[in-house]
Amino acid sequence: MRITELLKKESIELGVTAASKEEAINKLTGLMEAGGRLHDRAGYKEGILAREACGSTAVGDGIAIPHAKVAAVKEPGLAAITVPEGVDYDAFDGSLANLLFMIAAPAEGADVHLEALARLSTLLMTPNFKDNLIHASDKDEFLRIIDDAETAKYGAAKGEAEGQEGLKGASQAGENCGESGYCLLAVTACPTGIAHTYMAAENLESTAKKMGITLKAETDGSGGAQNVLTREEIMGAKAIIVAADREIEMARFDGKPVLQVPVADGIHKAEELIKKAASGQAPVYHHAGGGEGASSQAGSGDSMGRKIYKHLMNGVSHMLPFVIGGGILIALAFLFDDYSIDPSNFGKNTPLAAYLKTIGEQAFGMMLPVLSGYIAMSIADRPGLAVGFVAGTVAKMGMTFANPEGGAVNAGFLGALFAGFAGGYLVLALKKAFSKLPKSLEGIKPVLLYPVLGILLGAVVTTLINPYMGMINDGLTNFLNGMGGASRIVLGMILGGMMSIDMGGPFNKASYVFGTAQLAEGNFEVMAAVMAGGMVPPMAIGLCTVLFKKKFTRKECQSGIVNFIMGLSFITEGAIPFAASDPLRIIPSCAMGAAAAGGLSMAFGCTLRAPHGGIFVLPTIGNPAGYLLAVVIGSVIGCGILGVLKKELAEEER
């Protein structure tokens, strides 16, 4: 597929005037809709804004490439505008964006368009190409410039595959560091795998070529890995640059010098990275699993506390889809059921409710095994996965030696947490013990020794500890159930405030994990307080930018409006840019507002059966009016405190 097949004339506009980033996004989404690429413009724009909330898609040097891969997209496409006077798109280098391409990718279906998008991202790194597009006199010339550049670099449509091979070999001229012909290797990956992945790869390869150094870049995009590094190339390379914002396969680099950086550094700091890698300054990477496992990016220099946190977060991140999906389906079952039919069977009285609750229970029931399985895998790589899954299942069953069938104790979330760590470290111990076996037995370790002994020992240890975990779990549950009104309000304030202290960091995650654990135990009020606290920070800031405009810059006021949407969608991280610029005022204000919302949610007796916040789960909330009131009051309190603490800016600073 050619780039020009994705870009219709109806989706191009030249000489646009855009006063803000929001205005540019509105223009581009309108052009995308005019090209017939969308099912739902509002849904697509929501995806664009969500991506921007993770970090601006401006790549500097006057270029921005907003993109989204969502269900609102009917078919892959591009939209483009030129802005001669420029628009502030929050670029890292402070430059105004003159050339903007917006990418629309469907959430599902074939990824035949990805090669064309990769080519566009690559061509945009060529200065002449960008300048020619900005100065195009009409849409026909705009399209012709793209088509000519694509043909020149990749060949005509018939020879596109050869053109891709040409890109792979573009960096082969220069210094050779091994039989593979490549001095340096690189892997690039961004969260969506659409644009930045390919831009970083192209910039690293082209910069290396100018420096006389051979470099090959593997792109780990949404359509899968391309230009994959071979074993021989890895062995022969001097160093590897991993420019990635998500997990990639690292075991293959064990024992090699590796630089691990964000994907943006591959775009903006290519020369610096190449010099550092080529001069031998890259640290040697040691894979935790000795090369037997899957992906890992844990730094060998991390403290024990940091390693434990990473292992825990690996389990939690894999657990969340099961918890959220299952929890919301269970909540919907109660919403669609008829309590009057049979109160004792509420949730399964009607066929629809029974179906939703059954599916939800199955998904939610996998929470504990998935948590422990992926904690163990994070510690010991692939051999730890089965051990952790089984140990987590043993914890969920409440199995004891006196009652092997389970149900004797309630080990719950804490038991599964322990099971994951125990299973992972048991497998590491087995690896160390088996390291002295003859090499001829190497092949039976992952398929026989680790699974059999690991699962057995993991189950035994978990069974042994289950009664103690059950005592702790029951004690905590009884303590929470026995708390009076004032105590529960204090608990809600603490949990709500924690959601705002670091906005996505360890305190935030600790509060969320505690709420999820209590949700599994049937304490639905705790989850409601946690979710209410998480909604407050972005909404308090958004409200403050409206009521106290003179205390914020023009750009902050524009971003503040977006924060309303993010707060209503339970995206606490929308407050991070504000907190980073003024932490001493923003964080305490938001934390106090969030604490108030959490406490009020408890006071109003709000409940939430789904482990997610925002207006999307409002129908599943017990006492939704009280919940909304708690969030509104918390946002107003946070806004008021921030308005008092913030100083008014001078006219020239706004």
Q: Which are the catalytic amino acids?
A: 67, 190
User: Is the Cβ–Cβ distance between 333 and 348 less than 8 Å?
Assistant: yes
Terminal C-alpha separation, the chain:
46
Mind spelling out the 3-state secondary structure of 263-307? HHHHHHCHHHHHHHHHCCCCCECCCCCCCCCCCCCCCCCCCHHHH
Per-residue tokens: 596: 């108030």
10 by DSSP, 3-state: which?
Answer: strand
Amino acid (1-letter code) at residue 245: D
* Pairing between β-strand 77-87 and β-strand 67-70 as defined by DSSP bridges: unpaired
3-state SS class at 85: strand
> What is the C-alpha to C-alpha distance for residues 615 and 196, in angstroms, rounded to an integer?
32
Closest CA to 393 of 414, 375, 374, 419: 419
Partners of 621 in beta bridges: 608
Q: Give yes or no for a contact between 647 and 551, defined as CB atoms under 8 angstroms apart.
A: yes
Spatial CB neighbours of 419, under 8 Å, sequence gap ≥ 6: 372, 388, 391, 392, 394, 395, 458, 461, 462
Token code pair at residue 366: 């996998």
All residues at 6 or more sequence positions from 478 whose CB lies less than 8 Å from its CB, including other chains: none
Q: Rounded CA gap, 645 and 558, in Å?
A: 21
Q: Return the structure tokens found at 118.
A: 């990769």
Q: How far apart are CA 116 and CA 100, in angstroms?
A: 16
Sequence-ordered list of residues with C-beta below 8 angstroms from that of 576, at least 6 positions apart, any chain: 503, 504
Token couple for 317: 């991140």
Distances (CA, A) of 500 to 507, 538, 579, 590: 8, 10, 10, 6
Q: Are 28 and 37 in contact (CB under 8 A)?
A: no
Report d(CA 495, CA 138) in Å as an integer: 57
Residue where the block lists tokens 């699993």: 289
**Neighbouring C-beta atoms of residue 283, cutoff 10 Å:** 13
| Neighbour-count burial of 95, counting CB atoms closer than 10 A to its CB (0-12 exposed, 13-18 middle, 19+ buried) | middle
Q: How far apart are CA 499 and CA 277, in angstroms?
A: 39
Tokens of 370: 């998935």
Contact 388, 423 (CB under 8 A): yes
